[in-house]
């Protein structure tokens, strides 16, 4: 089911943010209304549904109505996951209020060495309240130390023992900081080391979409498999819906096309519409070697991020 962008405003200004093309301050600040939220909920209920909603931003805890939105989804017996950096006072308040309710949290974090005192206070207080309802996610940076702090925080706050890691992926317009091709192998080595250490704590890695299999050596892939952190190289996320109700395929491809949710009969119809239009580009790959790669040709690997694969393509029409 969809990723709902409750607001395009965030309290952070991360250089690597792949939502930059539609976020504030590059665009006017937007906040989803109750009417729009209600309309999307009813729209989702019309079709085949796994009854899962992801509440995102920007930073969703900055939305003044987020408590009402969570309550509304719980009334509908929807599964809820909130994607938050937990660095706002509102995040602490909401975390403490719903800690015992069936609401999961994916916590987008940077290295704690970069937190200021206020951020540290809010994040740790929220993690303390959420415990196993929260799991960490972060991007592996090519020029920073290995992320062993994530294992310490997972253990200290009794968090979910699955950590999701990602690579720095570009927007189609290349407005954010992203990995160059040479840095993929650097990050892959860091991921492998983290997976090995995580296994000692019974912690496993999951992966954001857009990671090509060939970033890893055969030996590294074997290590990940033995650690229970096997890589799945996919690029097919849930659709995102902006604060104004516009459906986009994913944030990095936001500038290539969007349609209001009301133009589709169901959420599933929207998925089909976008997938049919991007399908001709899926076999391009990110490198010339993709054309003869068995993993790519068997659809076991999507050759990484579709936005990265499309950057040199012109006159794309949806």
Look at residue 51 and tell me whether its pLDDT is greater than 90.
no
Please give the pLDDT value at position 235: 78
Please give the pLDDT value at position 165: 96
Residues 223-264 pLDDT 10s: 999 999 988 887 776 899 999 999 999 999 999 989 999 999
What torsion do the CA atoms of 12, 68, 100, 3 make, to the nearest 10 degrees? -50
The model's pTM is 0.94
Please give the pLDDT value at position 248: 96
Query: Cα–Cα distances in Å, from 143 out to 76, 146, 179, 193?
Result: 45, 9, 11, 15
CATH superfamily of 3-310: Aldolase class I (3.20.20.70)
The lowest-confidence range among 4-13, 98-107, 143-152, 185-194 is: 143-152
Backbone angles phi, psi at 240, to 5 degrees: -100, 145
């Amino acid at each position: 089911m969809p990723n709902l962008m409750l607001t395009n405003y965030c309290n952070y200004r991360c250089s690597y943010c792949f939502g930059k093309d539609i976020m504030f301050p590059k665009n006017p600040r937007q906040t989803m209304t109750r009417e729009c939220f209600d309309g999307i909920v009813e729209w989702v209920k019309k079709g085949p549904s796994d009854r899962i909603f992801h509440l995102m931003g920007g930073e969703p805890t900055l939305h003044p109505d987020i408590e009402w939105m969570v309550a509304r989804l719980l009334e509908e017996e929807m599964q809820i996951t909130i994607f938050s950096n937990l660095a706002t006072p509102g995040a602490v308040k909401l975390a403490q209020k719903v800690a015992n309710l069936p609401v999961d949290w994916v916590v987008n974090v940077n290295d704690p060495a970069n937190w200021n005192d206020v951020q540290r206070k809010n994040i740790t207080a929220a993690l303390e309240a959420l415990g196993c309802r929260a799991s960490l996610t972060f991007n592996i940076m090519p020029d920073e130390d290995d992320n062993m702090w994530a294992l310490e925080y997972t253990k200290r706050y009794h968090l979910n023992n699955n950590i999701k890691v990602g690579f720095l992926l570009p927007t189609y317009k290349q407005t954010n900081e992203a990995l160059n091709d040479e840095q993929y192998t650097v990050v892959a080595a860091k991921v492998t080391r983290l997976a090995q250490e995580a296994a000692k704590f019974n912690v496993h890695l999951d992966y954001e979409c857009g990671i090509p299999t060939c970033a890893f050596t055969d030996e590294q892939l074997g290590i990940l498999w033995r650690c229970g952190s096997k890589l799945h190289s996919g690029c097919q996320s849930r659709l995102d819906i902006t604060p104004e109700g516009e459906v986009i395929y994913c944030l990095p491809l936001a500038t290539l096309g969007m349609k209001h949710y009301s133009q589709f009969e169901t959420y599933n119809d929207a998925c089909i519409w976008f997938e049919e239009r991007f399908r001709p580009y899926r076999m391009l790959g990110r490198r010339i070697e993709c054309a003869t790669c068995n993993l790519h040709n068997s659809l076991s690997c999507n050759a990484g991020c579709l936005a990265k694969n499309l950057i040199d393509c012109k006159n794309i029409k949806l």
